[in-house]
Structure 1
Amino acid sequence: MTRPQRSLSVRARVAWAAGLAAALVVLVGAGASAVTWVNNEYQQRDRRVDAVAQALASAGNPISRGQGYVATLRSGDTVLESTPVTLPPAPAGLTTEVVRGVTYRVRTVPADRTDGALLSVGVRDNPTSALVGPPARRFALAGAAAVALAAVLGWVFAGRAVRPLRQLIAQTRTLTSNTYPTPPRVRGAAEAEELSDAITDMWARMTAAQDRTRIALDSARGFAAAAAHELRTPLTAMRTDLDMLRTHQLPQRDLDEIVGDLIRTQRRVESTVTALGQLAAGELMRPEDRISFDVTELLDRVARECARTDPNVRVTIRGDEPIYVTGWPDGIRLAVDNLIRNAITHGRATEIELSAAPSGSVEHGHLLELRVDDNGVGLPVSERQRVLRRFERGPHPQVGGSGLGLALVAQQASLHGGTITLSGSALGGLRALLTITP
């Protein structure tokens, strides 16, 4: 496969442009100089023929021979006196005459005589090529030197101008998928700096996208590993129960027990898969998706929904002032839902109180504290830190629990720059304190 022919470099283009510009300037200057030179020569020729004519026309100045001019004194059609070259009759003034193939510039004036004779004086009129020839050669040599100098200077200065671009090319070629530091900024021509900034911005976006992709892959691997580890036992139990149903003729009581085990195990598997998916989604949250939202309104929606799904549990909200925070509202909603579900399912709570209040100072950054208090059975102090880890359950776990509910809360606290703390509640059960850094 033949490689495509490379285009001219910027340096070569600048050198060519400088040479062509110099050539154009030289041509225009030479043309203007030639016109000025020729006009000046013609003016000097006319002044010379005028001076000779006036001198010869004065009384007492006969026509001389061999002085570089031709002259004819004529009265009517009669030639009174003439040089060897006789000029034809001409009216008074400047004319151009051709005698024997030679062109003359002729001035005809009245002679200082009483018979009204006219004196015609002519000088040889050199052709334009003869006038332009000598300076044209000098212009040609000077122009060639100017073009060459311009091309060399263009090459030199263009080399200095494109040096930042070459540095940028060299730096770009060294970038690989494992290069995390931002490429150094190139200094030099404004265009090179703009291109360097554009490449730096592009590299930053590519690095961010690569980081998100790596996080997504790690999350997918973690999801697969955790799912395989956590689901192996319940799936094995389900397979054993199914084998029992397939291979044995069991009484109705045993059948009902096995079916009940299958349903509970299926719920546990479903709960685990759902929680793992929520954990993976939390790891993929992007900073640009953060928005400002009212936490009090969010808690109010949670309380109303809980009243519909669990009418036997009383959920109250302390405070009704709007409190705005910047973050992921879906993540905070997930954390609050899991805390309430944990209090109802594992703590057997019948009364839950939700509250949100700012804490901290401006100097140290405002913290938002979300409290979930319940009147359940609580949790031993020795267990409160352990249950925040994945697949860890409390001392009295309910069937179907995934061991990931509080781990999801801890994940959201970390994503929002805060923490989750479990302690005793004034209601008699457990207090979950979730802090958020806006």
Structure 2
Amino acid sequence: MSIRARLAVGFTLVMLVLTVSGSVLFVSQLQKALLSSVHSRLSDRLAVLLTEAADRGGRIHPLLGSNGIYAQVLDPGAAVLTTTRGTDRAPFLTPAQLARIGDRTVSFDGHLQVHAGARVVRTAMRLRATTLPRSGDFLVVATSEADVDTAARRAAIQLIVLCAGMLVVALVGGWWLTRAALRPVERMRRQVARLGVDRLASGIAVPRSRDEIALLGHTFNDLLRRVSDAADRERAFVSDAGHELRTPLAILKGELELAQNPKRTREELLGTVGVAAEETDRLIALAEDLLFLARGDESPAVPLEPADLVAIVDEAVRSVAVMAQSRSVRLAVAAPPQLWSDVDRDRIRRAVDNVLVNALHAVAEGGSVRVDLAAVSGEAVLRVTDDGPGFPPEFVPHAFERFSRVPDPAVPGNGLGLAIVRSVMTGHGGTATVENATGGGAVITLRWPLTSSPREGN
């Protein structure tokens, strides 16, 4: 069943419940009001007869019917002393009922036989009875409840007809209103169905109304833009990855073809194997970087465990010490004795390694790289500063994009190092930034929340 049909049926059912409840309440209140009117009429007639009895010394003149109200005077044994014309001589109440009256005015429900023309009809009656002063006899007045039942029944029939008409109107009106309300949704659905993968960023036309449907349209357009951006990044990633893989594979293929030449000397063959091994290592490193980034995309959340950040930085510095010494680069580290936090140790180590290697590649022989680690306002802050030429200004906004490299063929790398750094920081709820130092060189800053207190004794 469509949403339109469900809403129309739901609206009709709600109207059904409301109209039935209202009708039942109305008929009930009408019946109650009519019975109250009957009660008042009986009380008024009883008061008139009691006044007459008081004026006559406790005796009542032979009774006459008054506006459909019948009356009887009964002795304590329920014998009829006086009765209104139009009723038979049967007592209105039994001796047991009379015994309940005492000195009060009591109401009863019963059935009496009254004359309707030539016929005698048994009808439901409402009775009120009280004791006559002085004589000790009982005065009983009664009137038919048939008019009350008839009026309530007629009102119920009229309400049933009215409710049926209202339900038809509610069903048709609900169908029309939901159709009109959902028409913009149907238009958006048709637009989405016509969208191609290459036109996701164009989005769909959003209604000008400031309602939930317009908000849905804007939200959907935002989603389409994000999907389009992700698709563009994926296409660029695949294209760049293919380009990066093509060069080492082409070199590897060429070297293997040369190795097949039977006229090559042993030294030439060893050189070919060495080049092939280097290109293989390059392919392995590229594949590992791509796999690392892919895993980060699939599962941004990282498993955390307590680790000493100072120890991680020291290990990373020691791992690049040989590379620094080979180029006479000075490494300086400033850090507290300990700085504990809940992190993914391997990923943080990978990010620190990449930042240090990036800095060492940037500086000339005899240069310097400084590493500062500190806790600042509840965050771990790692800042790596080098005295190299710095980043080209046009490169800074794209430094953390995949396969983004400084336009300098002398700087090695596949353009994934800083992209991995940003992926690690994102997984830890942190940030990574690059900037050029005022006096020259570049600064890479990593920040992520400290999620545990320093540990004593570690």
TM-score (norm 1): 0.58
Q: Distance in 1 between matches of 2:413 and 2:436?
A: 13
Residue of structure 1 aligned with 2:271, choices 247, 252, 261: 261
Matches within 5 A, 1:349-428: 351=366, 353-355=368-370, 370-371=385-386, 393-394=409-410, 404-405=412-413, 418=434
Task: Say which SS state the counterpart of residue 200 (structure 2) adopts.
Answer: coil
Alignment CA distance shift 1:413-1:111 (3 Å): closer
Q: Distance in 1 between matches of 2:418 and 2:113?
A: 113
Q: Distance in 2 between matches of 1:78 and 1:239?
A: 135
Q: Distance in 2 between matches of 1:220 and 1:6?
A: 42
Are 2:369 and 2:384, in contact at CA under 8 Å, matched by a contact in 1?
no
Q: Distance in 1 between matches of 2:132 and 2:327?
A: 136
Which residue is equivalent to 2:89? 87
- The yes-or-no answer on 1:8 pairing with 2:23 is no
- The yes-or-no answer on 1:47 pairing with 2:44 is yes
Alignment CA distance shift 1:154-1:143 (3 Å): same
Q: Distance in 2 between matches of 1:405 and 1:42?
A: 103
- The yes-or-no answer on 1:241 pairing with 2:255 is no
Give the unaligned 5+ runs of structure 1.
359-365, 375-387, 395-402, 422-430
Q: Distance in 1 between matches of 2:73 and 2:132?
A: 9
Are 1:12 and 1:155, in contact at CA under 8 Å, matched by a contact in 2?
no
Which residue is equivalent to 1:132? 149
Q: Distance in 2 between matches of 1:390 and 1:81?
A: 120
- The yes-or-no answer on 1:306 pairing with 2:320 is yes
Please say which of residues 75-84 and 15-24 is displaced more in the overlay.
75-84
Which residue is equivalent to 1:141? 158
Are 1:372 and 1:433, in contact at CA under 8 Å, matched by a contact in 2?
yes
Residue of structure 2 aligned with 1:270, choices 280, 288, 313: 280
Q: Deviations over 1:253-276 (max 9, x none)?
A: x32x13322222213312442464
Which residue is equivalent to 1:179? 200
Q: Deviations over 1:341-378 (max 9, x none)?
A: 688xxx8x5x55312589xxxxxxx996731569xxxx
Which residue is equivalent to 1:31? 28
TM-score (norm 2): 0.56
Which residue is equivalent to 1:227? 245
Are 2:72 and 2:81, in contact at CA under 8 Å, matched by a contact in 1?
yes
Aligned residue pairs, count: 372
Q: Distance in 1 between matches of 2:82 and 2:360?
A: 138
Give the unaligned 5+ runs of structure 2.
115-119, 340-346, 374-380, 390-403, 424-431, 447-458
CA-CA distance at 1:237 after TM superposition? 3.0
Are 1:307 and 1:314, in contact at CA under 8 Å, matched by a contact in 2?
no
Are 2:74 and 2:137, in contact at CA under 8 Å, matched by a contact in 1?
yes
CA-CA distance at 1:141 after TM superposition? 2.6
Alignment CA distance shift 1:297-1:317 (3 Å): farther
Residue type of the alignment partner of 1:259 = L
Alignment CA distance shift 1:78-1:404 (3 Å): closer
Which residue is equivalent to 1:63? 62
Alignment CA distance shift 1:214-1:294 (3 Å): farther
Which residue is equivalent to 1:433? 441
CA-CA distance at 1:34 after TM superposition? 0.7
Are 1:335 and 1:412, in contact at CA under 8 Å, matched by a contact in 2?
no
Q: Distance in 1 between matches of 2:80 and 2:246?
A: 134
Please say which of residues 304-313 and 410-419 is displaced more in the overlay.
410-419
Alignment CA distance shift 1:74-1:138 (3 Å): closer
- The share of aligned pairs that are identical, in percent, is 9
Q: Distance in 2 between matches of 1:54 and 1:368?
A: 109
CA-CA distance at 1:133 after TM superposition? 1.0
Residue of structure 1 aligned with 2:330, choices 275, 292, 316: 316
Alignment CA distance shift 1:303-1:315 (3 Å): farther
Are 1:111 and 1:119, in contact at CA under 8 Å, matched by a contact in 2?
no
